[in-house]
Amino acid sequence: MAPPQVIFSYPIIIFQESDFVKNGLKIRSSKAFEADKSGKVTLRGEPKEKAIPSNEERKEWPVLVHVVAPAKMERFPIDLVAVLDVSGSMSKATSRHGWTRLHLVKAAMQIVTKKLGAGDRLAVVPFNRDVVGATPLREMTTKGREEASAKVDSLRAGGETRFLPALKHASGLLDGRPAGDRQYRPGFIFLLSDGQDNGVLGNLAGVRRYPTHTFGMCQSRCNPKSMVHIASQTKGSYHPVNDDLSNVTQALAVFLSGITSAVAVNARVDLHVPDNSGVLIKKIDSGAYEGTIENANGKSKGSVTFGVFSSQEEKKFIVYLHVPKLENVQATTAPQPLLTVSGEYSTPAGGRKVEKMNESKIQVERHAPATTKPAAGDHHVTASAWSEAVMVEIVRIKVVSIVEEVLKNHEQQEEPDQKQMAKELREKWESFIKETPAGKDAAERLKEKLPKHHFDEVHASLVQEEYDGVLYLYSWLASHKTQQATTMAASSSATVAGWFRQQYMQQMAADAVFDACGIRPGVDIELDATGCGCGCAVDMDRIDRRLELWSSLKRDAPLMFQPSEDAKSHHLTAVFCEASLDAINRAMHHDMYLAVVHASNLRRCYSGAGKQEPHGDGSTSELPAHDDDAPPHAIEKHSE
């Protein structure tokens, strides 16, 4: 067995919902309970400096606003429309498994129907040149899952590719819901295709109302501009995927883990400055999210609309204020109020409960001019008390703008010159930190803490041969503009964007690899040159490590439920602890079952033709042929 190590550390340990839900109970660590005391979306504001000399003005004074969603059990049910390409190109054989791309889509959709809850609804919109037999939104009950799976299994490839008719149909399905559903059931669209359709460029009227997340089976060194355009115009994410089943299922798992964790909807942050103070909101850097500013009649206010927040999701944006100098005032002992940040959102409680975010008040000390020495015992904050967090966010936003500019310069090229793009990135980065006031300020103050990893990350994707840099940059850009996790095409295997992922997303992506091993979309698999062409290969050491994790969690579970002196509370604590241990046992048994299924799959791969079975140490042994034709999912059904 591999040496024990914890590979997942999310406070809600989830394998499959059925494994961890019993009478509404899910397992959480004691730390998660502490973090979830308020159970509300919280915000805070943080200025770049704590003090401004009274005789100075700031034309664009940055304030960082940080919004964080709670880690909660209750979530909103969602409506999801799967827009699936069934054009002729989807019949192309993949490089692995002997499957076509359409077979991969069918297999990946099994993950989608499996991960959605019974209260969620799914519609399937197949398309080529036009929509081909779409389904309505169906609840993912047992019957709904069967109907959705039957529809997907019946798909056949043929025809040309046009995105717009299918996207309009998908948007129409979501528009056609009752008003209450449109407001309180988040609606999402995802598009899975290997094609491009430049007809959508500048022509998405009527389909921008719902986030559309695009999954492109784009070939190496291609230009995925239409898929990227759809995602960027709808506040969705772009996921480059390849012809590997585990790659596609991981990308979908990351996407699904976010949308099925919606704990707040209709979220909006409001900004107000004191009336007639001379302070004005000049600019809001909020990425893909709409920011508004109103300056009139001595008043200045603004807002940023985020819409949906997933569990533990964080959003940051920068507000730039014009702060005038104080006329005829040498100094003031009272801090000057500059900005009040507030907001509201709806929660799943009672279906439509509106909650207020906490208020965050930004104020600054206006001390005497810098030439005046403070008197003894004077505790005024000096201008040197600047915020590292604000400057780090400014640098991140700047790198986003640099990447966006370089991509725009090369968007018309069918095969963009990655070396030239890398050169332009470096030139713009060095110009920022050496020539612009904000860049020089960041370089001087942050020094070795200057977050160069943003630049290094995108630059490396362009200069290293194994990376498809253009796809990586588009995915990176979509992730950073929406501040959402996405999968990156940085190498042959998809990785989850580290900046915005939650640990439960990473876990669900890893679980998707295990799920993919039990999926065979009704196609005979041909052995490839390596001797094994079926399914995916799961490292048995990973299963060992998972079992070690469950064992550790099982040991720690009693510590999460400390009994009180109250007899009734003591009884409830014992009940919850017992239920938690039962859930952990079932999860361990499921992992053991997966190991057996995986071993059976490997044996099937290497049987029938005198193939060599691989061992963990790299050695092999001859396997006899056998006659077992039952697919893995048939074994699973029997075990249930």
Q: Which of 260, 295, 330 is the last residue of a domain?
A: 260
Instruction: Tell me what pLDDT residue 377 has.
Output: 38
Are both 113 and 250 inside the same structural domain? yes
Are both 65 and 88 inside the same structural domain? no
The β-bridge relationship of strands 212-216 and 187-193 is parallel
Are both 159 and 84 inside the same structural domain? yes
- CA pair distance 567, 244, nearest whole angstrom: 55
Q: Which residue has the higher pLDDT, 134 or 72?
A: 134
Instruction: Tell me what pLDDT residue 571 has.
Output: 52
Residues 6+ apart with CB under 8 A from 375: none
Instruction: Tell me what pLDDT residue 456 has.
Output: 84
Please answer whether residues 260 and 115 qualify as being in contact, where contact means their C-beta atoms are separated by less than 8 angstroms. yes
Give the model's confidence band at 124: pLDDT under 50 very low, under 70 low, under 90 confident, else very high: very high
Instruction: Tell me what pLDDT residue 116 has.
Output: 92
- CA pair distance 538, 529, nearest whole angstrom: 19
Q: Which of 51-55, 368-372, 401-405 has the highest mean pLDDT?
A: 401-405
Average pLDDT over residues 251-265: 90
Instruction: Tell me what pLDDT residue 536 has.
Output: 47
- Measure the CA dihedral 11/16/20/26, to 10°: 40
Are both 227 and 294 inside the same structural domain? no
Give the model's confidence band at 534: pLDDT under 50 very low, under 70 low, under 90 confident, else very high: very low
Average pLDDT over residues 218-236: 82
Instruction: Tell me what pLDDT residue 287 has.
Output: 93
Residue percentage of the chain with pLDDT more than 70: 68
Does position 521 have pLDDT exceeding 80, yes or no? no
Q: Which residue has the higher pLDDT, 597 or 244?
A: 244
455-483 pLDDT, tens per residue?
Answer: 888 888 888 765 678 888 898 899 899 99
- Residue 42, both tokens: 């919280």
- CA pair distance 406, 425, nearest whole angstrom: 7
Does position 626 have pLDDT exceeding 50, yes or no? no
Q: Which residue has the higher pLDDT, 120 or 15?
A: 120
Are both 200 and 308 inside the same structural domain? no
Q: Which of 530, 520, 577 is nearest to 554 (CA)?
A: 577
Residue 526 lies in a domain: no
Are both 348 and 459 inside the same structural domain? no
User: Rounded to a whole number, what is the largest CA-CA distance in the chain?
Assistant: 95
Which residues pair with residue 264 across a beta bridge?
A: 309
Q: Which of 242-246, 398-402, 523-527 has the highest mean pLDDT?
A: 398-402
Does position 304 have pLDDT exceeding 80, yes or no? yes
Does position 411 have pLDDT exceeding 50, yes or no? yes
Instruction: Tell me what pLDDT residue 144 has.
Output: 94
| DSSP characters over 515-558 | HHHT---S-PPPP-TTS--SS----HHHHHHHHHHHHHHHHHHH
Are both 228 and 123 inside the same structural domain? yes
Q: How far apart are the first and last CA of the chain?
A: 28
Q: What is the CATH number of the domain that holds 235?
A: 3.40.50.410
Q: Which of 452, 499, 449, 496 is nearest to 315 (CA)?
A: 499
SS3 at position 399: helix
Does position 332 have pLDDT exceeding 50, yes or no? yes
Residue 520 lies in a domain: no
Total number of domains constituting the chain: 4
Instruction: Tell me what pLDDT residue 77 has.
Output: 93
Q: Which of 368, 395, 417 is the last residue of a domain?
A: 368
- The chain-wide mean pLDDT, for the chain, equals 76
Residue 485 lies in a domain: yes
- Host H or E run for residue 325: none
Does position 219 have pLDDT exceeding 80, yes or no? no
Are both 177 and 313 inside the same structural domain? no
Are both 338 and 234 inside the same structural domain? no
- CA pair distance 471, 241, nearest whole angstrom: 10
486-520 pLDDT, tens per residue?
Answer: 876 443 334 445 568 777 777 777 677 666 666 65
136-182 pLDDT, tens per residue?
Answer: 999 999 999 999 999 999 999 999 999 999 999 999 999 999 998 88
Q: Which domain range does residue 244 map to? A: 76-260
Question: 46 φ, ψ to 5°?
Answer: -145, 115
Residue 364 lies in a domain: yes
Instruction: Tell me what pLDDT residue 566 has.
Output: 56
Q: Which of 459, 481, 501 is the last residue of a domain?
A: 501
Instruction: Tell me what pLDDT residue 629 has.
Output: 33
Q: Which residue has the higher pLDDT, 119 or 1?
A: 119
Residue 5 lies in a domain: no
Instruction: Tell me what pLDDT residue 563 has.
Output: 54
370-392 pLDDT, tens per residue?
Answer: 554 444 433 333 444 788 999 99
Residue 408 lies in a domain: yes
Residue 462 lies in a domain: yes
Does position 123 have pLDDT exceeding 80, yes or no? yes
Does position 2 have pLDDT exceeding 70, yes or no? no
Residues 6+ apart with CB under 8 A from 424: 406, 409
Question: Which of 31-40, 402-411, 506-515, 589-598 has the lowest average pLDDT?
Answer: 31-40
Does position 593 have pLDDT exceeding 70, yes or no? no
Are both 333 and 416 inside the same structural domain? no
Q: What is the C-alpha R_g of the chain?
A: 27
Average pLDDT over residues 594-619: 51
Predicted TM-score (pTM) of this structure: 0.75
546-582 pLDDT, tens per residue?
Answer: 667 767 766 766 655 555 555 545 555 555 566 666 7
Instruction: Tell me what pLDDT residue 97 has.
Output: 59
Q: What is the CATH number of the domain that holds 274?
A: 2.60.40.1510
Does position 109 have pLDDT exceeding 70, yes or no? yes
Residue 552 lies in a domain: no
Are both 84 and 200 inside the same structural domain? yes
- CA pair distance 541, 595, nearest whole angstrom: 10
Are both 80 and 225 inside the same structural domain? yes
Instruction: Tell me what pLDDT residue 451 has.
Output: 82
